[in-house]
Amino acid sequence: MIEDGDKAPDFELPTDGGETLELSRLKGKPAVLYFYPKDDTSGCTAEAKNFTRLAPDFRKAGVEVIGVSPDSVESHAKFRKKYDLAVRLAADADKAVANAYGVWVEKSMYGRKYMGVERSTFLIDGKGRIVKSWRKVKVPGHAEEVLAAAKALVK
């Protein structure tokens, strides 16, 4: 399990914009990496819309916001278009990045156990270190809390 202060695991993932995103290429620039379970579900849509609403503030602070889920690039593209999302979406189809960040976990719903993404967010500084992490995120107010931490980081 990675913790605050640890070096953020590097990755290379395809995005809905047709490019490949590498964390190491963002060096020198802080980033918010938020993991969410599934495109176009109620909680995930609300979270993406909240980050989108605050995207201009994150950009102004010089912070890149990236959403990551196991959904495909095609699913991400439809999700972005449907809700006019302003954050980059990266496809972690093999769950390697979710595993590296410790967010691919056993979950339980109605007594049934299954593996899935634990909604989590990581604020990574320009040197590639995890400054702050949020686990088992509750969506209301979360994007605002992350923005406040990001602004404090870049001061």
Strands 31-35 and 120-124: antiparallel
Please, which residues have CB within 8 angstroms of residue 155's CB and are 6 or more apart in sequence?
Answer: none
Alpha helices, H only, the chain = 42-53, 55-60, 73-83, 96-100, 142-154
**SS3 state at 32:** strand
Tens-place pLDDT, residues 7-25: 999 999 999 988 999 998 8
For the chain, how big is the Rg over CA atoms in Å? 14
Query: Which one of the listed residues 44, 89, 117, 131 is annotated catalytic?
Result: 44
Tokens of 108: 């339980």
User: pLDDT of 29-52, one tens digit each?
Assistant: 999 999 999 999 999 999 999 999
Q: Which of 50, 46, 37, 44 is nearest to 109 (CA)?
A: 37
**What are the tokens at 101?**
């960040």
Band of the pLDDT at 63, cuts 50, 70, 90?
very high
Type of residue found at 5 = G
Q: Does 44 participate in catalysis according to the annotation?
A: yes
Terminal alpha carbon distance of the chain: 29
pLDDT above 80: residue 119 = yes
Tell me the pLDDT tens digit for each residue of 120-137: 999 999 999 999 999 999
Q: Which residues pair with 65 in a beta bridge?
A: 32
Considering the entire predicted model, what is its pTM? 0.95
